């Protein structure tokens, strides 16, 4: 019976600090949560004191799967599976042994925390903790109390209509609700970095449009499918992502034919940024996002980045700019993109790689290197050939 009464308690993060526009953020957060949980069944959502109660209305809902999905909704700092009970200590104590058994049976230490939002409740928070702690020790005599480093934290929340009992709140995805900060275009390759950059900017509330450059026959269909797979992982957090696949073969062949070899990469990046800016404006994106990290490769030196940025008037966000590779890989593993990123299907960034790329280019040099290209025509042709896909979560 207790299992049937389980709900999700989701604690809002930094949006709880918002002022007059807080309702806008909360509405978007609830919209995103509904989209995430709807495939599992029907739900009722109650919002109170920076907490969302997600109550399953469909019999037999997989509450564990729901918790995992809810934990990937940007905007929540924490979440927990909880039992909803009458605001009565007898009912709370009666539920302790059965409901907490899975969490406490194998633990060695615990502590109890109480939140008494309803100040009319007869016991104060310390008294609730003491009473519940005694009941837990009675039911699980192998446990001992450790208020500093407990293996399990038992929480009792006394709210307006109900009491809630749960063990070990999990850390949520954090950030701001997707869609509250506008839309930006992420230049997405099949590597490790750009999916992490997409996830990081999605966490700041941006809705994402992906831009991927394909150069068949130098790149394969599997390389493009790799990008689809990566974005499906990111979309678990952000919601659906529009992907624009740009045909870039003609552009790269023109670079090879008319530009100095040591400037191939710089000119290619400048061409990509020109195309991305045009597409971003077409699809009402207010910024560009890249996965570049300062000094990681030749095209990511200070001089090279300056040459790249010179061709666009849009803001360019580089969330990985100060991260080392280990940090990026750790995040990629966290969001489950790493194993896909290392599949051996190369993207167009590896096509016609110069033997000795220019690492300290000046803007004037880059402009001279690309002077022989019919740049406007190349950009227009590439953008006119775009294929549009909608990527939904796995």
For 208-220, what is each residue's pLDDT tens digit? 999 999 999 988 8
Q: Is the pLDDT of residue 386 over 90?
A: yes
Higher pLDDT, 353 or 204: 204
Q: Is the pTM of this model over 0.75?
A: yes
Mean local confidence (pLDDT), 114-140: 95
- Which pLDDT band, with edges at 50, 70 and 90, does 296 fall under? confident
* Predicted confidence (pLDDT) per residue in 146-185, tens digit: 999 999 999 999 998 899 999 989 999 999 999 999 999 9
All structural domains of the chain with their residue ranges: 3-171, 183-391
Q: Residue range 260-289: average pLDDT?
A: 95
- Percentage of the chain beyond pLDDT 90 is 83
Give the distance, in angstroms, between the CA of residue 207 and the centroid of all CA atoms in the same chain. 11
Average pLDDT over residues 310-318: 97
**Mean pLDDT, the chain, integer:** 93
pLDDT, tens digit (0-9, with 9 covering 90-100), for 182-195: 999 999 998 999 99
| CATH for the 3-171 domain, from 3.30.2130.30, 3.40.50.300, 3.40.50.2000, 3.20.20.70 | 3.30.2130.30
Answer whether 3-171 and 183-391 agree in fold.
no
Check whether 1 has a pLDDT greater than 50.
no
pLDDT(47) > 80: yes
Fold of 183-391: Rossmann fold (3.40.50)
Contacts of 23 (CB under 8 A, 6+ apart): none
Structure-token match 């890989």, residue found: 329
Confidence of residue 2 (pLDDT cuts 50, 70, 90): low
Interval 3-44: pLDDT, tens: 558 999 999 989 888 888 899 999 999 999 999 999 999 999
Query: What pLDDT is stored for residue 4 in this prediction?
Result: 53
pLDDT of residue 325: 94
């Amino acid at each position: 019976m207790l299992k049937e009464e389980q709900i999700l308690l989701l604690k809002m993060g930094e949006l709880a600090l918002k002022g007059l526009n807080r309702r806008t953020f909360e509405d978007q957060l609830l919209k995103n949560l509904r989209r995430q949980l709807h495939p599992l069944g029907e739900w009722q959502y109650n919002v109170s004191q920076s907490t969302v109660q997600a109550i399953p209305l469909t019999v037999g809902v997989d509450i564990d799967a729901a918790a995992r999905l809810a934990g990937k909704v940007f905007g929540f700092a924490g979440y927990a599976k909880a039992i909803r009970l009458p605001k009565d200590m007898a009912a709370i104590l009666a539920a302790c042994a059965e409901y907490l058994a899975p969490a406490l049976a194998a633990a060695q230490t615990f502590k109890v925390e109480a939140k008494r939002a309803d100040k009319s409740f007869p016991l104060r928070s310390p008294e609730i903790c003491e009473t519940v702690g005694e009941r837990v020790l009675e039911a699980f005599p192998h446990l001992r109390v450790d208020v500093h480093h407990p293996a399990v934290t038992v929480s009792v929340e006394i709210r307006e209509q109900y009491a809630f009992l749960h063990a070990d709140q999990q850390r949520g995805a954090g950030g701001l609700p997707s869609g509250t900060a506008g839309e930006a275009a992420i230049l997405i390759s099949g590597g490790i970095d750009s999916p992490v950059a997409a996830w990081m900017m999605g966490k700041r509330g941006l809705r994402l449009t992906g831009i991927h450059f394909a150069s068949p026959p130098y790149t394969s269909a599997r390389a493009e499918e790799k990008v689809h797979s990566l974005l499906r992982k990111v979309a678990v957090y952000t919601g659906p992502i529009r992907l624009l696949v740009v045909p870039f073969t003609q552009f790269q062949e023109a670079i090879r034919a008319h530009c100095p070899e040591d400037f191939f990469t710089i000119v290619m990046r400048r061409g990509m940024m020109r195309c991305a800016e045009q597409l971003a404006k077409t699809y009402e994106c207010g910024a560009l996002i890249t996965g570049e990290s300062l000094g990681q490769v030749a095209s990511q030196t200070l001089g090279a980045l300056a040459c790249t940025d010179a061709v666009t008037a849009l803001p360019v966000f580089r969330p990985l700019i100060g991260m080392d590779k280990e940090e990026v890989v750790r995040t990629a593993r966290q969001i489950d993109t790493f194993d896909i990123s290392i599949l051996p299907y190369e993207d167009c960034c590896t096509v016609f790689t110069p033997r000795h790329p220019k690492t300290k280019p000046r803007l004037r040099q880059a402009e001279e290197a690309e002077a022989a290209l019919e740049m406007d025509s190349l950009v227009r042709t590439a953008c006119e050939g775009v294929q549009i896909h909608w990527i939904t979560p796995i």
